[in-house]
Amino acid sequence: MIFFEMKKILPNVALWKRIIAYLIDLLVISFLIMTPLMRFTERPATFSEIFTSITSTQTITVSILVSLLSLFYWAYLEYKFGQSVGKIIMKLSVKSTLRKKLSFTQTVIRSITKLSTILIILDTLYMLYKKGNQRYFEIISKTKVIEVKK
Amino acid sequence: MNKLFKVLLFLAFLWVLSYGIAYLFFTDTTISSEDTIAVIPINGMITLNGESTLLQTSTSAQSIVDKINEASTNENVKAIVFEINSPGGTVMGSKKIANAIDNIQKPTVAVITEYGTSGAYWAASQTDFIIADELSILGSISVIGSYLDFSGLLNDHNITYQRLVTGDYKDLSTPYKELTDDERELLMLRLDAIHDFFVEDVAEGRSMSREELDKLSEGLFYIGLDSIDIGLIDGLGDKDTAIEKAKELSNITNGEVTEYAEEESWFDSFMTYSAYSSFHIGQGIGSVILNPESNQDIQINI
């Protein structure tokens, strides 16, 4: 009965909305986090130099900083408001599937795979494979994305 | 405070945090070593003030001259290397850089990477030593003033150019009317004057006679491999070679290298990193799709 109630209250969200929300968030992160860091760091002048710069100390340091700040962006906004900027625009929200308010730990865990392109793809493929509406890390963190009703 | 305001406040905080971290950890504008080689890049189309459009960015001659002045007046900088990858640019922009390099009282070395043609080669010619890769493209010592003539197109569409000028040559080289022989001759005289000035300056910079350089000033480009024999460059190599040469010319053995990075606008930074993000996302997706062997638990068949 509880499961039935939760399914009624938390209907599935279309994947395309979630993808657009994610892309919007990437754009915001590019502007807020990556652009300031890139202004002061060495960066490849051409795309072909990307490969040779990957292992430089500065590149690795910047990557770690970008990852931590991006995680903070998603985790804090979803914890505090239930929505990141992308989700606000796409009228989506994150809810806890437990009978309590969303915690910061939950939002951190659910956002970890967003730090890596390959991980988020695998996480999303799991959701498609299971034909559900929760990524693997959403299941672990006991969270789900829903549409915000007007 | 409403929700939107709080979100914007958080975003502003995040931006300040990122900027602060970057500034604290990655900026070091002081040249502390007594023996320093300054590296000044000259990338892209050269214009006087760095005007950029949606399709093309340019490098500002003024900003390069500012860097030159800073490096020239800094006692710790013993030599300057110009890392050039530019097809040239406007006459005034190129001349400004060339003059500034000519006035440097310290050893200078130019290293041409991909391109060092036209105005960019003009700048390189004023240094003490030019290095290029075997396949670098350089030269093109000439002037171009070509433009598209739309007069025929206007005529075909019954559009008339109403000429209202107070001087006969006020609309010289307007694309809306055909160039007369008289006007062509006038334009060519001016281009020839600029060309003479350009070639004279390059000849002086390269310690070549005007006659020798005239043979190389038909606008043809040369590759690095052929350019040593004809006197356009002094050696083959890369940036490291240029830095070692600069140390040799300034009689220092262990010098630090300071890069004078090009300043770019916030918009340029944003667009650059958005492009990198897209590249890495595509690279990530591509690596999953094209290398199924590395993902044994998931098989994607196209």
The structural domain count of chain B equals 2
- B123 domain residue, yes or no: yes
Q: Are residues B286 and B233 in the same domain?
A: no
Residue B98 confidence (pLDDT): 96
The secondary structure of residue A11, as a DSSP letter, is -
pLDDT of residue A14: 86
| pLDDT for res B24 | 73
pLDDT band at B23 (very low <50, low <70, confident <90, very high): confident
Check B284 against A40: CB less than 8 A apart: no
Question: Across all residues in chain B, what is the average pLDDT?
Answer: 85
- Contacts with B42 (C-beta within 8 Å, 6 or more apart), sequence order: B59, B64, B82, B83, B84, B85, B86, B97, B120, B123
Q: At residue A134, what are phi and psi to the nearest 5 degrees?
A: -130, 130
Residue A10, number of CB atoms within 10 A of its CB: 16
The pLDDT of residue A44: 46
Residues B90, B234, single domain; the answer is yes
CB B216 within 8 A of CB B198: no
The pLDDT assigned to B263 comes to 57
Is residue B53 packed enough to be buried (19+ CB in 10 Å), middle (13-18) or exposed (0-12)?
Answer: exposed
* B293 and B222 in a common domain: no
CA B266 – CA B49 distance, rounded (Å): 17
- The answer to whether the CB atoms of A85 and B277 lie below 8 A apart is no
Tens digits of per-residue pLDDT, B178-232? Answer: 888 999 999 999 999 999 999 999 999 999 999 999 999 988 999 999 999 999 9
Taking the C-alpha atoms of residue B64 and residue B86, their distance in angstroms, rounded to an integer, is 13
B59, B188, B286 from B291: Cα distances, Å:
40, 59, 8
Whether B139 and B123 share a structural domain: yes
| CATH classification at residue B151 | 3.90.226.10
The residue assigned the tokens 């300034």 is B250
Among candidate residues B101, B82, B58, the one with its CA nearest the CA of residue B201: B101
Quick check: B285 contacting A, CB < 8 Å?
yes
Confidence of residue A1 (pLDDT cuts 50, 70, 90): very low
Q: Is residue B151 part of a domain?
A: yes
Q: Are residues B147 and B88 in the same domain?
A: yes
Q: Are residues B172 and B257 in the same domain?
A: yes
Q: How far apart are CA B102 and CA A134, in angstroms?
A: 66
Do the strands B129-132 and B235-236 form a parallel or antiparallel pair, or are they unpaired?
Answer: parallel
Asked if residue B40 belongs to a domain, the reply is: no
Q: Output the pLDDT for position A51.
A: 46
Query: Token pair for residue B145?
Result: 């003033």
> What is the radius of gyration, based on Cα positions, of chain A?
17
The pLDDT score that the predictor gives to residue B21 is 82
b/e map B218-252, b = 16+ CB within 10 Å: eeebbebeebeeeebbbebbebebbbbbbbebbeb
Query: Do B234 and B272 reside in the same domain of the chain?
Result: no
| Domain identity same for B243 and B270 | no
Mark whether B188 and B287 lie in a shared domain. Answer: no
B37 burial type by CB count under 10 A (0-12 exposed, 13-18 middle, 19+ buried)? buried
Domain coverage including residue B278 = 265-302
Interior angle at CA A83, CA A78 and CA A89, nearest 5: 155
- Predicted-complex ipTM score: 0.79
Residue B12 lies in a domain: no
Residues B13-20, mean pLDDT to the nearest whole number: 88
- Strands B221-223 and B137-139: what pairing? antiparallel
Q: Which residue has the higher pLDDT, B45 or B263?
A: B45
Kindly indicate the confidence band of residue B300, based on its pLDDT and cuts at 50, 70 and 90: very low
The pair of structure tokens assigned to B47 is 């214009």
From the list B18, B277, B284, the residue facing A32 with the nearest CB is B18
The confidence score (pLDDT) of residue B267 equals: 54
* Phi, psi for A42 (deg, rounded to 5): -65, 140
- Residue of B273, B279, B297 for testing the chain A interface, max A β-carbons within 10 Å: B273
Q: Which residue has the tokens 């929505």?
A: A83
- Asked, for residue B212, whether it belongs to a domain, the answer is yes
Are B141 and B282 within one domain? no
Does B10 fall in a domain? no
Q: Is residue B228 part of a domain?
A: yes
Cβ <8 Å between B22 and A36: yes
| pLDDT at A52 exceeding the cut of 60 | no
Q: Which of A23, A26, A28, A40 has the most B C-beta neighbours within 10 Å, making it the best mutation to test the interface with B? A: A40
For residues A63 and A61, give the distance between their C-alpha atoms in angstroms, rounded to a whole number: 5
Mean pLDDT taken over chain A: 81
Interface list for chain A against chain B, based on CB atoms closer than 8 Å: 26-28, 30-43, 45, 47, 50, 58, 61-62, 65, 69, 72-73, 76-77, 80-81, 85, 88, 116-118, 121-122, 125
Identify the weakest region by mean pLDDT among A13-17, B8-12, B288-292: B288-292
Answer for the pair B131, B125: CB distance below 8 angstroms, yes or no: no
Whether this model's pTM surpasses 0.80: no
Q: How confident is the model at residue A140 (pLDDT cuts 50, 70, 90)?
A: very high
* Most trustworthy range by pLDDT among A32-46, A58-72, B18-32, B254-268: A58-72
With H, G, I as helix, E, B as strand and everything else as coil, classify residue B234.
coil
CB contact under 8 Å between B14 and A34, yes or no, is no
Closest CA to B202 of B242, B113, B142, B248: B142
Residue % of chain A over a pLDDT of 70: 78
Q: Which pair of tokens denotes residue B77?
A: 């900088």
pLDDT band at A5 (very low <50, low <70, confident <90, very high): very low
**Same-domain status, B167 and B197:** yes
CB contact B135 to A (< 8 Å): no
User: What is the model's pLDDT at position B20?
Assistant: 84
Average pLDDT over residues B134-156: 91
B158 and B224 co-located in one domain: yes
Residue of B14, B277, B287 lying closest to A30 (CB–CB): B277
Residue recorded with tokens 């000033």: B217
Helix (H, G, I), strand (E, B) or coil at B269: helix
